[in-house]
């Protein structure tokens, strides 16, 4: 029993390490997009987004499911002390992953010009081309990360993710700045297409840095791994053919599921530019509008979801363990806790970004300040996306991989329908894509949460999960608007007033939630620095 508890504690700790690294990586990714967007502008953002989302989809097809599949196969063999078979999984996976990455990289390079023309953004050709080598690098890196995770050590993966993002951030901004001034077309002041390509090149350099970290980590323990594999006794030597079948059999459901979830961006790539140009917009104007969607709306609305999902993810291994042991009360408690944490963060983020959307855009992107209306209209999608991702994580953790795929497909169908109806309306144009995204996540989240409740027989306490965060957020939103406009009357500085309004709004939200019981000790224990917040709340008699 003690050994099992120790193992469970270690597993949860490793998951928490990876979740914390994920939060930091997401934050760094957000930070470097600020100067990049200000340099490239909305048109450059549109070009960058086109190339990057096409690369992301091909990356998913080539290697998205491999780390999880490798981790599963390795951990199963290590549990049986089949060390030689475990290492053979790693060796075979390297060959498979590198081959897939190379095939997709070549395919992406050969079709780059045609793809750029197909999405009505010929200037995205350079972005697409510059990302081709990254497919190979990430494919190889994913094998090392999956191997370390299978050995239940997340530290090398966490460090490599952070190093990757630091290099990515620096070189994306630096190369974009350099390339903007190269081979400037006649009549222009900057080469926006090359600048966007410079931004995407940073992704490859970051991935290479991350690969170096995991490779060095592996080489440090390689002698021990080989020695252990050599002397171990195992009843059966798995062949490479068997391992390839098991690897792909495990990876493909994850790849398909992840690919379906990324379809919202792919749908927008395929539809937004075509509908806008068919409605009379020039390719440049349509690219500008798409840049506001991909570079501002998507960036700002996915950040709070990434943070809430990272925190909630740390609880998922514990849910999976309780589910396997048949601990129904614990499953009910932990699922409600996970959903509650997700909403405690996501609901106020949606309200705050919604009421201060234009002000936030003007503060973050002073050189490209259009697009605030997209946040005002579409910030509510943060809530539905967070619900969807949290429910998906739980469903996948307890072995129901297909259900989130069905939910995502239903959402994708809704998005296609709404895109076709709303974007051609002149008064809406790109706002139609934001509304369709909201509809997509609404449908997917309702389906996923309903199926999760039906399968697990868990009753979600929506009063604590949703109603209390909504009540606290409404008060917070009113306070934020009051503080902003009240202060702006005396100090007409958008940046200062927005920052003060955000800080005070967070304080108001926290106090209201503590007063009405929307945040409890159990919730705070699940977040970073939760212990300090609990002690402070008790000192102030708020808990």
Instruction: Enumerate residues 6+ apart whose C-beta is below 8 A from 82.
Output: 232, 234, 236
User: SS3 of 314, please?
Assistant: coil
Distance CA 360, CA 499 (A): 9
Distance CA 320, CA 396 (A): 9
Query: Based on the number of CB atoms within 10 Å of its own CB, is 324 exposed (0-12), middle (13-18) or buried (19 or more)?
Result: exposed
Tell me the C-alpha to C-alpha distance, in Å, between residue 356 and each of 162, 294, 342, 497. Answer: 30, 19, 21, 11
Calculate helix-pair angle for 283-292, 2-63, nearest 10 degrees: 180
Give per-residue pLDDT as tens, 436-483: 999 999 999 999 999 999 998 888 998 899 999 999 999 999 999 999
| Distant-in-sequence contacts of 296-300, Cβ < 8 A, 24+ apart | 296/37, 296/45, 296/361, 296/365, 296/371, 296/374, 296/375, 297/371, 297/374, 297/375, 297/378, 297/434, 298/49, 298/265, 299/30, 299/33, 299/37, 300/353, 300/360, 300/361, 300/364, 300/375
Residue-level pLDDT, tens digit, the chain, 543 residues: 444 444 444 555 666 677 778 888 989 999 999 999 999 999 999 999 999 999 999 999 888 888 888 988 998 898 888 999 999 999 999 999 999 999 999 999 999 999 999 999 999 999 999 999 999 999 999 999 999 988 988 899 999 999 999 999 999 999 999 999 998 988 888 999 999 999 999 999 999 999 999 999 999 999 999 999 888 888 788 988 999 999 998 888 778 878 887 878 888 988 999 999 999 999 999 999 999 999 999 999 999 988 877 766 666 667 777 777 788 888 888 899 889 989 999 999 999 999 999 999 999 999 889 999 999 999 999 999 999 999 988 887 787 888 988 999 999 999 999 999 999 999 999 999 999 999 999 999 999 999 999 998 888 998 899 999 999 999 999 999 999 999 999 999 999 999 999 999 999 999 999 899 888 777 777 665 666 767 777 777 666
Distance CA 266, CA 408 (A): 13
pTM across the whole model:
0.88
């Amino acid at each position: 029993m003690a050994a099992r508890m120790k193992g469970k504690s270690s597993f949860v700790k490793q998951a928490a390490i990876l979740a914390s690294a994920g939060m930091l990586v997401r934050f760094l990714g957000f930070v470097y997009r600020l100067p990049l967007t200000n340099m490239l502008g909305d048109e450059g953002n549109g070009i960058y987004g086109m190339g990057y989302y096409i690369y992301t989809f091909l990356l998913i097809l080539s290697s998205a499911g491999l780390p999880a599949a490798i981790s599963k196969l390795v951990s199963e063999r290590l549990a049986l002390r089949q060390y030689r078979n475990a290492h053979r999984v790693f060796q075979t996976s390297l060959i498979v992953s590198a081959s897939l990455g190379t095939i997709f990289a070549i395919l992406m390079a050969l079709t780059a010009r045609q793809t750029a023309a197909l999405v009505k953004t010929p200037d995205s050709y350079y972005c697409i081309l510059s990302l081709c080598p990254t497919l190979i690098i990430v494919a190889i890196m994913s094998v090392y990360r999956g191997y370390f995770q299978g050995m239940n050590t997340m530290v090398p993966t966490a460090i490599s993710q952070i190093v990757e993002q630091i290099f990515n951030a620096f070189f994306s901004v630096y190369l974009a700045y350099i390339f903007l001034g190269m081979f400037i077309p006649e009549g222009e002041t900057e080469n926006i297409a090359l600048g966007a390509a410079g931004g995407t090149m940073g992704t490859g350099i970051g991935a290479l840095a991350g690969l170096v970290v995991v490779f060095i980590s592996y080489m440090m323990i390689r002698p021990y791994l080989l020695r252990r594999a050599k002397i171990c006794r195992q009843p059966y030597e798995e062949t490479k053919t068997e391992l390839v079948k098991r690897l792909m059999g495990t990876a493909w459901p994850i790849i398909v599921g992840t690919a379906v979830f990324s379809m919202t961006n792919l749908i927008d790539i395929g539809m937004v530019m075509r509908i806008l140009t068919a409605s009379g917009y020039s390719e440049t104007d349509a690219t500008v509008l798409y840049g506001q969607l991909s570079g501002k709306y998507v960036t700002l609305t996915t950040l709070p979801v990434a943070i809430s999902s990272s925190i909630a993810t740390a609880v998922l291994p514990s849910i999976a363990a309780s589910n396997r042991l048949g601990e129904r009360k614990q499953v009910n408690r932990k699922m409600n806790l996970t959903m509650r944490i997700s909403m405690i963060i996501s609901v106020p983020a949606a309200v705050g970004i919604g009421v201060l959307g234009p002000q936030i855009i003007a503060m973050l992107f002073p050189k490209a300040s259009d697009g605030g209306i997209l946040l005002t209209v579409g910030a509510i999608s943060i809530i539905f996306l967070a619900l969807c991702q949290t429910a998906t994580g739980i469903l996948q953790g307890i072995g129901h991989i297909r259900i989130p795929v069905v939910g995502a497909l239903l959402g994708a169908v809704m998005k296609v329908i709404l895109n076709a109806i709303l974007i051609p309306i002149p008064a809406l144009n790109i706002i139609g894509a934001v509304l369709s995204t909201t509809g997509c996540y609404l449908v997917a989240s309702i389906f996923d949460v309903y199926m999760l409740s039906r399968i697990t027989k868990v009753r979600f306490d929506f009063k604590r999960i949703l109603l209390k965060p909504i009540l606290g957020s409404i008060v917070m939103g009113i306070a934020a608007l009051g503080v902003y406009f009240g202060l702006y009357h005396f100090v007409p500085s958008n940046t200062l007033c927005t920052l003060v309004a955000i800080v005070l709004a967070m304080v108001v939200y926290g106090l209201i939630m503590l007063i009405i019981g929307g945040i409890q000790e159990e919730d705070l224990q699940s977040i970073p620095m939760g212990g300090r917040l609990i002690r402070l709340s008790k000192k102030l008699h708020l808990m």
